[in-house]
């Protein structure tokens, strides 16, 4: 039912998003990772606006993206019902309920795609972007063994500029694990490596934009 509803939203919303977002897509290496995702995977990205999720639905149109989403979004009745129908994974940031981790694990074990904004919230004015990454993406990647697909977005929605993304090559979190260190340290260091990868993709995106001009 979730996959069907996702498909319906993508078909009916395709024209609107083409007009509103006009997303330009770049690739770190298209031969290695294109818009098609094979098998289970985790998508991570910087977080610029609530529209990031909507844009990514059409960046990866052939897969059902099950995104981890803040509890505040589900508190709005209409939006909450819509996100549940889309398969949104509720993350209650104000409690110690880690059910979202188990739900994400189940989705990955069944070959699905889980989306995560590791910053866990939108940056406030004046804060360094991207914010420090929370460890959930690193933990899930290590637990499941699935590849992590890093994606950078410029956050240009509803502006004269085009929305743009840079799709990076997949990361194998297990290759970043240091057996000489404890799990907590590894999770923190791998999360920071994920963050640095997003920053690197952002720089590549800017370079491609300059080349275009």
**Confidence class for position 213, pLDDT limits 50, 70, 90:** low
- Does residue 65 surpass a pLDDT of 80? yes
Helix (H) or strand (E) holding 5: helix 2-20
Chain segment 169-187, per-residue pLDDT in tens = 999 999 999 999 999 999 9
- Strands 41-45 and 113-116 come out as parallel
**Residue at token pair 């960046």:** 59
pLDDT band, very low/low/confident/very high, at 93 (cuts 50, 70, 90): confident
* pLDDT over threshold 90, residue 211: no
pLDDT band at 210 (very low <50, low <70, confident <90, very high): confident
Instruction: Kindly tell me if the per-residue pLDDT of 78 is higher than 70.
Output: yes
pTM over 0.85: yes
Average pLDDT of 67-92?
A: 94
Average of per-residue pLDDT values in the chain = 95
Distances (CA, A) of 175 to 133, 138, 146, 179, 193: 19, 12, 12, 11, 12
């Amino acid at each position: 039912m979730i996959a069907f509803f996702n498909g319906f939203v993508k078909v009916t919303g395709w024209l609107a998003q083409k007009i509103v977002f006009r997303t330009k897509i770049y690739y770190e290496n298209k031969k290695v990772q294109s818009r098609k995702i094979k098998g289970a995977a985790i998508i991570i990205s910087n977080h610029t606006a609530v529209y990031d999720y909507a844009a990514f639905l059409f960046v990866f149109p052939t897969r059902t993206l099950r995104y981890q989403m803040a509890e505040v979004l589900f508190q709005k009745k209409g939006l909450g019902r819509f996100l549940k129908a889309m398969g949104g994974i509720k993350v209650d940031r104000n409690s110690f309920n880690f059910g979202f981790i188990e739900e994400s694990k189940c989705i990955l074990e069944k070959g699905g795609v889980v989306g995560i904004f590791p910053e866990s919230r939108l940056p406030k004015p004046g804060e360094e972007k991207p914010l420090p990454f929370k460890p959930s993406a690193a933990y899930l990647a290590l637990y499941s063994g699935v590849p992590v697909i890093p994606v950078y977005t410029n956050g240009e929605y509803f502006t004269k500029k085009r929305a743009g993304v840079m799709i990076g090559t997949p990361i194998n979190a297990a290759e970043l694990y240091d057996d000489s260190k404890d799990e907590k340290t590894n999770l923190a260091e791998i999360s920071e490596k994920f963050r640095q990868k997003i920053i690197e993709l952002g720089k590549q995106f800017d370079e491609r934009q300059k080349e275009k001009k």
